[in-house]
């Protein structure tokens, strides 16, 4: 048989977090690998989605999302993120922020284009780039503060570099990029004429009085920034698959065409639910969300310290990186498998 996989397909491995979840289930362990939300979905959102189904609003929406959802996102992104967006032309509602990022990469990157990512990175960002045959290049974030050097960005930049990905708050580092850091990235991206793809899915998960700065709100960056976020985490609806990108109309139009091609639209009745949530929930909802996750962060970090795994205290998002060098094994995968083995025997 001469049939074979595409070269593209052979480059994509199963996402590590999915593989770890499967291993964890086999070992009967507690799954700390995959980001699962456990807060209650706000009642107004559940009821409106339900009403959407009952009222028969079950057909396709416009390819870039329901008008009321795009309008609600435009209000939110102006008030919270400081970005002005026209709901008619600049917003594409997609199948989660994952879908939004994939569509943006398809619309804006060619095979061979290089894209800078900060390391540690979120694995889906890398795999999405590989799927569109772009080439990831890595700039190190240095613990404990996850600082980076513009010199390193300069060193890995060349004439093929087309974009940089900024995930703030970041998975898995928990880094919240400061305004000063983002301004230096903005200057760098402008000087090298790069797109800035953001991933702001954890924009409300902020600790110790930190605030979220959206790269797209910085001077001169609006035109080249594709601001990506979604509602999976904020509203605890990871399975609903509702996210979005915001960008200038010239990019949004093409990103929207890709979204139409791949997803046609995001799930219709669920868009109604999210639109109501965005319009009705006030600041106190988002503040309480951050307080609740801060309590959980403190608890898990304390436990990690108690068992001898020094934790880097996350500034935002809901992941914790810990120093596992005291455990047996050559790398973190072997060390976590060792832990799972211990659990299976014990």
Least distance to ligand PLP, CB of residue 111, Å: 23
In the structure encoding, which two tokens stand for residue 334, read together?
């072997």
CB-based contact 63:265 (threshold 8 Å): yes
Q: Distance (Å, rounded) from C-alpha 126 to C-alpha 241?
A: 20
Mark residues 178-217: x for contact with ligand PLP by CB under 6 A, - for none: ---------------------x-x----------------
Q: What is the DSSP letter of 316?
A: B
Contact pattern from residue 35 through residue 64 relative to ligand PLP, giving x for each residue in contact according to CB under 6 A and a dash for the rest? x-----------------------------
- Determine if 171 is a binding residue for ligand PLP (CB under 6 A): yes
By rule CB under 6 A, what string of x and - marks binding of each residue 285-304 to ligand PLP? Answer: --------------------
Residue pair 319/34 in contact (Cβ under 8 Å)? The answer is: no
Tell me how far, at minimum, the Cβ of 263 lies from ligand PLP, in Å: 12
Among the residue ranges 96-104, 147-155, 176-184, 292-300, the one whose residues contact ligand PLP (CB under 6 A): 96-104
- What would the two tokens of residue 345 be? 């025997």
CA-CA distance, 11 to 128, in Å (whole number)? 11
Are the beta carbons of 85 and 302 closer than 8 angstroms? Answer: no
CB of 35 to ligand PLP, least distance (A): 4
> Which pairing describes strands 243-246 and 225-230: parallel, antiparallel, or unpaired?
antiparallel
Q: Backbone phi, then psi, for 39, in 5-degree steps?
A: -85, 160
Site for ligand PLP in 114-133 (CB under 6 A): 122
| Shorter beta-carbon distance to ligand PLP: residue 89 or 238 | 238
Calculate the dihedral angle through the C-alpha atoms of 210, 87, 277, 206, rounding to the nearest 10 degrees.
Answer: -10
Structure tokens, 322: 């810990």
> Which of 81, 97, 217, 336 touches ligand PLP (CB under 6 A)?
97
Q: Which of 96, 174, 269, 277 binds ligand PLP (CB under 6 A)?
A: 96
Residue 167 contacts ligand PLP per CB under 6 A? yes
- Which residues between 226 and 245 bind ligand PLP (CB under 6 A)? 230, 232, 238, 243
In the complex with ligand PLP, the residue whose CB is nearer, 294 or 327, is 294
Name residues whose C-beta falls within 8 Å of residue 272's C-beta, 6 or more positions apart in sequence.
Answer: 48, 49, 51, 52, 57, 66, 68, 69
* Minimum distance from residue 319 beta carbon to ligand PLP (Å): 8
Distance of CA 166 to the CA centre of its chain: 9
Q: Is 163 in the site for ligand PLP (CB under 6 A)?
A: no
Question: Among all residues, whose Cβ is closest to ligand PLP?
Answer: 96
* Shortest distance (Å) from residue 172 CB to ligand PLP: 8
The contacts of residue 67 (CB under 8 Å, 6+ apart) are 87
Between 157 and 315, whose beta carbon lies closer to ligand PLP?
Answer: 315
Q: Are strands 225-230 and 311-312 parallel, antiparallel or unpaired?
A: unpaired
List interacting residues with ligand PLP (CB under 6 A).
35, 96-98, 122, 167, 171, 199, 201, 230, 232, 238, 243
């Amino acid at each position: 048989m001469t049939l074979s996989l595409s070269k593209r397909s052979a480059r994509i491995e199963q996402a590590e977090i999915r593989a770890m979840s499967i291993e964890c289930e086999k070992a009967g362990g507690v799954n700390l690998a995959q980001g699962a939300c456990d807060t209650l979905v706000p009642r107004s959102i559940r009821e409106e989605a339900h009403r959407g189904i009952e009222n028969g609003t079950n057909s396709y929406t416009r390819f870039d999302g329901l008008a009321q959802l795009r309008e609600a996102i435009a209000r939110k992104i102006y008030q919270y993120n400081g970005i002005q967006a026209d709901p008619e032309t600049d917003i594409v509602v997609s199948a989660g922020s994952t879908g939004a990022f994939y569509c943006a990469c398809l619309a804006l990157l060619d095979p061979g284009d290089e894209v800078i990512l900060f390391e540690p990175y979120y694995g889906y960002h890398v795999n999405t780039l590989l799927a569109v045959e772009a080439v990831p290049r890595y700039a190190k974030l240095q613990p404990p503060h996850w600082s980076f050097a513009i010199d390193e960005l300069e060193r890995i930049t060349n004439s093929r570099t087309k974009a940089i990905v900024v995930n703030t708050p970041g998975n898995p580092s928990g880094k919240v990029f400061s305004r000063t850091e983002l301004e230096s990235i903005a200057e760098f991206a402008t000087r090298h004429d790069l797109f800035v793809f953001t991933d702001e899915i954890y924009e409300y998960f902020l600790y110790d009085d930190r605030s979220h700065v959206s790269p797209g709100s910085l001077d001169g960056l609006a035109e080249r920034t594709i601001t990506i976020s979604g509602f999976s985490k904020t509203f605890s609806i990871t399975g609903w698959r509702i996210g979005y990108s915001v960008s200038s109309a010239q990019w949004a139009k093409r990103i929207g065409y890709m979204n139409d091609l791949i997803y046609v639209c995001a799930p219709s009745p669920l868009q109604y639910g999210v639109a109501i949530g965005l319009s009705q929930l006030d600041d106190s909802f988002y503040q309480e969300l951050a307080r609740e996750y801060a309590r959980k962060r403190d608890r898990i970090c304390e436990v990690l310290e108690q068992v001898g795994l020094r934790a880097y205290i996350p500034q935002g998002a809901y992941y914790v990186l810990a120093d596992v060098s005291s455990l047996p094994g050559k790398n973190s995968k072997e060390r976590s498998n060792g832990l799972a083995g211990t659990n299976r025997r014990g």
